[in-house]
Structure 1
Amino acid sequence: MLDLGLKDLHVLVTGASGGIGVEITKLFLEQGAKVTAQYNTKSTTLEPLLENTSKLHIAQANLSSESSVQHLFTSATNTQPWNMGGRGCLEEDAMLKDMSLERWNFTMDSNLTSAFLVAREFIKGLEKEKAKDLDDQVKEKVDNASIVFVGSTAGMFGEANHSDYAAAKSGTSLLYRPVSICFMFDYSSTALMYGLTRTLKNEIVRVVPRGRVNCVAPGWTRTPKKTESLQDPEVVYRATATVPLKKVATPYDIAVQIVILTSSRVSGHVTGHVVDVAGGMEGRLLNMKQDI
């Protein structure tokens, strides 16, 4: 891959143990970044990566907890600069009329609140860095801070039986100092994909002059969790019926766009955009079963 200028940036990847998160972690390591990989409950998918590099650190944190997020940022920035990527969670199917308030609140906390907490602590960190007497090289990295929210086409087209997700989902990638953050979810909300992305792009420049905020919106992606269901031709058809490329994305397809947007070298004049990485998905039928 092209050198994206990420060497020795410290990257915090949230939800790094998920299918896309692991791929993001690998790509940042390939670019020479120092990576802190956040997970909530299981780190088994990340542990093999530790065998091949000294630039990876694994950290546990509950991103819906204010104190846990604050501790994550404190511990990460006290060691070295970083980037962060994360994930959200999708509950079982339920129409809005049948959805409990408990589930609604859980989804909001896991996705929208998590994104808020992570972005807030990141920008607070930028402000603290700006107050320091920095050398020119570090100052340039701080001034080029970047946030990439990772959302979903659910925020564009809706998601039947998952109105809570469509209302609240998104993710984030942030870059500053020798620090970058990628925070991603499996699905994404209109509120976070559009509202937060386009609001923060105007706020971040008040803290760092060339700070950027963007969002990547994946469609169906062939993650390990989806492998079994995608063996079913009916599921594949439902996933690709509105996609002109007639295929399901790989985790790499999503991760590479996130890493590119994080880089100020190749995306330094891109901000406030939601980048659709869904094979051209539309809100209408494009393919019949025999076409897939």
Structure 2
Amino acid sequence: MDTQLQGKGVLVTGGAGGIGSAVVRAFAEEQAKVAVHYHQSADKAEALARELGGVALRADLTSEADVDALVPAAVKALGRLDVLVANAGVWPPADEPVWKMPLARWRRTLAENLDSVFLSCRAFLRHVETTGSGNIILIASTAGLFGEAGHSDYAAAKGALASGFLKSLKNELTRIAPLGRVNTVCPGWTGVERHQDKLTDPVFINRVTRTMPLRKLGRPEDVARVVVTLASDRVSGHVTGEVITVAGGMEGRVLHES
């Protein structure tokens, strides 16, 4: 099916990461023009942009000034900007229950996973206000749907992207873009590059798929294809304010004992 994304301008935040790079490639396959945002992964972002004919743009998404400059830079580099994929985020690896979590970590996690999305969307919508059209895809997590013990900070930030922030934004967006849409994708455990050593471990696979009827690991491409589908006005033109979970049917309960 023709997604009609050819020639559209797309900004993918965190575009050099595991899911982000798959999203960038998926848009490139549709012949969209893609800006690969990065913060610290300059080599990966620039190599990906060169390979696909896009552009790599640096910004600290917790910096208001950086983000406010990022969107105009993307517009200038691509010639237009139609889609924002707010993919960048940081999962803090340390297990910290609420009663032990330092306020500094809580604030840092929310800044990296929620403030960054607010700033990205705000900058993009200021551009949309001048064009009258635009679509946003927010990348959240199943942690925002089911919670994640030891990571309440991350779950709280991602939960906002799958509920209150999303639902408010989809109503506000049509004030400046009558056909503008915003949706959220919630990946479950996904086999990105940094997890390669675990992808053939049957014990690990059994553990992470116990709550999933589809007992297989998600891949970045699984998420990317859903993102492209939601970005397409032809395919998903009457879909907005929705949460799409890409997690093999994951539930908040164990479905398989072994």
Normalised TM-score (structure 1): 0.83
Cα offset, 1:288, TM superposition: 2.2
Unaligned runs of 5+ in 2: none
Deviations 1:261-290 (A, max 9, x none): 01101000001110111100111111122x
The residue aligned with 1:87 is 88
Q: Does residue 119 of the first structure (1) align with residue 121 of the second (2)?
A: yes
Whether the aligned pair in 2 keeps the contact of 1:17 and 1:45 (CA below 8 Å) is yes
Aligned to 1:57: 55
Q: Which runs of 5+ in 1 are unaligned?
A: 131-141, 169-188
Aligned twin of 1:27 = 26
Query: What does 1:171-250 align with in structure 2 at a 5 Å threshold?
Result: 189-250=158-219
RMSD of aligned residue pairs (Cα, Å): 1.4
Where do residues 33-112 of structure 1 align in structure 2 (5 Å cutoff)? 33-54=32-53, 56-79=54-77, 80-82=79-81, 83-85=83-85, 86-91=87-92, 92-112=94-114
Query: Per-residue deviation at 1:123?
Result: 1.1
Q: Residue 144 of structure 2 aligns with which residue?
A: 155
For the 8 Å contact 2:84–2:124, the answer to whether it is kept is no
Q: Distance in 2 between matches of 1:45 and 1:287?
A: 38
**1:236-284: CA deviation from partner (whole Å, max 9, x where unpaired):** 2221000000011000000100010011010000011101111001111
Instruction: Report the TM-score when normalising by structure 2.
Output: 0.94
Q: Please state how far the C-alpha of 1:114 moved relative to its aligned partner.
A: 0.5
Over 6 Å off, 4+ runs:
none
Q: Which amino acid aligns with 1:89?
A: V
Which of these residues, 215, 238, 243, is aligned with residue 269 of structure 1?
238
- SS of 2:43's equivalent? coil
Q: Is the 8 A contact 2:211 2:250 kept in 1?
A: yes
- 2-structure distance, mates of 1:214, 1:285: 28
Say whether the 8 Å CA contact 2:84–2:137 is kept in structure 1.
no
Give distance in 2, aligned partners of 1:201 and 1:285: 33
Number of positions where the alignment pairs a residue of Structure 1 with one of Structure 2: 254
Q: For 1:281 and 1:53, locate their aligned partners in 2 and report how far apart those are by CA, in whole Å.
A: 33
AA aligned opposite 1:109: A
Structure 1 residues 26-72: Cα deviation after superposition (integer angstroms, max 9, x where no partner) = 11111111111000101333344344443x00011111110000010
Contact 1:22–1:45 (CA under 8 A) maintained in structure 2 = no
